[in-house]
Amino acid sequence: MKTERVNWKHHVLTAVAKYSYEGTLEKHKEHIPLEIIPHGSQATYRCCVYREREILRNRVDWAYGRASVYDGQHYYFTDEPVAVINSACEGCPLQRYTVTSNCQHCMAQRCMEACRFDAIIMTHQGAVIDPDKCRECGMCAQACPYNAISDARRPCVRSCPVDAISVDKKNRRASIDYSKCISCGNCTVACPFSAISDVSMICDVINDIREGKQVIACFAPSIEGQFGGVSVGEMIGALRQLGFADAMEVSLGADATAYYEAQEAKEVAREGGHMTTSCCPAFYNMVKKHYPQLMDKVSHTVSPMVATARFIKKMNPEAKVAFIGPCIAKKSEVKRYQKAEKEGADYALTFEELRAMFDAKNVDPEAIAATGVQQGSVYGKNFAAAGGVSAAVQEVLVEDQFDMPVSCLKCSGAAECKKALLMLRAGKINETIIEGMVCEGGCINGPAKITDMRHSMGMRKQLMMSADDRKIGENLKNSGFVDIDMKDGR
């Protein structure tokens, strides 16, 4: 069931897509909030309709690709994939540490002894924390023998696996430290008011389509099960109706990534070393920003998205490539390659944005006749799920008859990724390969998915039953993928 916060985001994206296709966005963008919340409407969740419309205006800017953020002193435009919508942030007036009824008003008063800021006083009813003095260090909660002090962290802060979100003490608004942020998108899902959102490239894609450019879509294998029973062939047909010149599934690029990472794994195994996968951009960002000394362990093979984009551009040098998936961090990967002036995808869209484009153009993917065939192997298609990358690499090693053992540590979720990286840094990893997936369950559980993972998994299994079994190496040779540059150019 769609929640109101999801509906509002979808309404804005759909309106922006509609007017972008018409070429009238500049004319209509100021009126979109009034279309969604007409005159005479009552406030639904905020203090007044005026604030709700202001939030929608900001959402239009985010959809337009212009995110204005506030750093506590001034506003500025950011090109980061994720940003806080200041007008939407409720400031969550939560006092992080609160004394509960479990307090026994004990004689030891260890909470008071532990507090270095004199923020705790003892009353006849028990301990009380002065929020003006509390520095949220947590020492009192650790010291209490009755566990009577609860820790209620804000959803956005609690959701961030790398402590990139902080709260301004003065106005209680959230802000993101981009030197730490890995663009995983956990915060966009966690915030109950959807005050943190990804910044869209939807207008750029549609404008290129309207100008007659050869825009080719490449979509993640995790798309199966997201739009009902829509197969890969039907999705290709639906994307063509949106104006894309052509489309292909990224599973073929995943085959290429698996093949070349397997060649790296052979060398690493011979040397008795360790390596990590490179296809999850949030995992890549985690290593680069928080464990930079381990960057030499990260595979130098490009991700399936980049591999597919390079393949498309080899076949059609004039093409623009738009990746479509459930991943927000892919937007950071697109920008990373652009800044390094390396060839990759030109745009990254999410499944949320794709659904808005379908609605804007009145395209029903389930009513489209299939116009494409399977391009990648089953192993490439299974990159969408945790464990799929390592399984594909192992398959290549079997096909190549590699006779040395290559073990894999599969990390599903940010916590497991962090633990594995800490162990790798400490020299306590036995496995040859670490597969890092920051989203629990893999890409099928990405922050911009539109269908519950359990439901999409069931539908995905049905669709996968029709996929034919093919060898990864042979599939690459038959497709002409062998001459593609697979180095990330780091």
- Do 192 and 213 belong to one domain? no
- Do 64 and 128 belong to one domain? no
pLDDT at 370: 80
Beta bridge partners of 441: none
Beta bridge partners of 219: 249, 324
- Do 243 and 185 belong to one domain? no
**Between β-strands 215-219 and 347-350, what pairing exists: parallel, antiparallel or unpaired?**
unpaired
Whether residue 54 is contained in a domain is answered as yes
- Do 194 and 78 belong to one domain? yes
Could you tell me the two tokens for 383? 């990159």
From 140, 173, 198, give the residue that closes a domain.
Answer: 198
Whether residue 110 is contained in a domain is answered as yes
Q: How far apart are CA 459 and CA 366, in angstroms?
A: 13
Tell me the residue type at 120: I
pLDDT at 4: 57
Whether residue 339 is contained in a domain is answered as yes
| Ramachandran assignment for 23, one of left (phi > 0), alpha (psi -120 to 50 degrees), beta (any other) | left
pLDDT at 131: 87
pLDDT at 6: 64
| Residue 446, phi then psi, degrees to nearest 5 | -65, 160
- Do 306 and 369 belong to one domain? yes
- Do 383 and 285 belong to one domain? yes
Q: What is the 3-state secondary structure (H, E, C) of 38-66?
A: CCCCCCCCCCCHHHHHHHHHHHHHHHHCC
- Do 429 and 388 belong to one domain? yes
Whether residue 156 is contained in a domain is answered as no
Q: How far apart are CA 356 and CA 368, in angstroms?
A: 17
pLDDT at 92: 82
- Do 261 and 315 belong to one domain? yes
Q: How far apart are CA 230 and CA 201, in angstroms?
A: 24
Q: How far apart are CA 436 and CA 419, in angstroms?
A: 11
Whether residue 62 is contained in a domain is answered as yes
- Do 323 and 460 belong to one domain? yes
Whether residue 52 is contained in a domain is answered as yes
The DSSP result for 65-128, as a single string, is: T-EEEE-SS-EEEE-SSEEE-TTT-------SEEE-TT----SS-HHHHH-SS--EEEETTEEE
Whether residue 319 is contained in a domain is answered as yes
Tell me the residue type at 230: V
Residue 432 near residue 408, CB atoms below 8 Å: yes
Q: How far apart are CA 115 and CA 130, in angstroms?
A: 11
CATH (domain of 122): 3.30.70.20
pLDDT at 397: 97
Residue 361 has a CB neighbour count (10 Å cut-off) of 16
- Report the domain count for the chain: 3
- Do 62 and 105 belong to one domain? no
- Do 395 and 467 belong to one domain? yes
Beta bridge partners of 487: 301
- Do 115 and 260 belong to one domain? no
The secondary element (H helix, E strand) that includes residue 429 is: none
Q: Which domain holds residue 43?
A: 4-91+164-198
Residue 417 near residue 281, CB atoms below 8 Å: no
**Selection from 393, 402, 224 nearest residue 301 by Cα:** 393
Could you tell me the two tokens for 438? 């920051």
Per-residue pLDDT of the chain (490 residues; tens, 9 = 90+): 455 556 889 999 999 999 999 999 999 999 999 999 998 888 888 889 999 999 999 999 999 998 888 776 777 888 999 999 999 998 886 778 999 999 999 999 999 999 999 999 999 889 999 988 998 899 999 999 999 999 888 999 999 999 999 988 777 889 999 999 999 999 999 999 999 999 999 999 999 999 999 999 999 999 999 998 899 999 999 999 999 999 999 999 999 999 999 999 999 999 999 999 999 999 999 999 999 999 999 999 999 999 999 999 999 999 999 999 999 999 999 999 999 999 999 999 999 999 999 999 999 999 998 877 778 999 999 999 999 999 999 999 999 999 999 999 999 999 999 999 999 999 999 999 999 999 999 999 999 999 988 888 888 888 887 778 889 999 999 998 888 999 997 7
Residue 236 near residue 248, CB atoms below 8 Å: yes
Whether residue 158 is contained in a domain is answered as no
pLDDT at 70: 74
Q: How far apart are CA 377 and CA 330, in angstroms?
A: 22
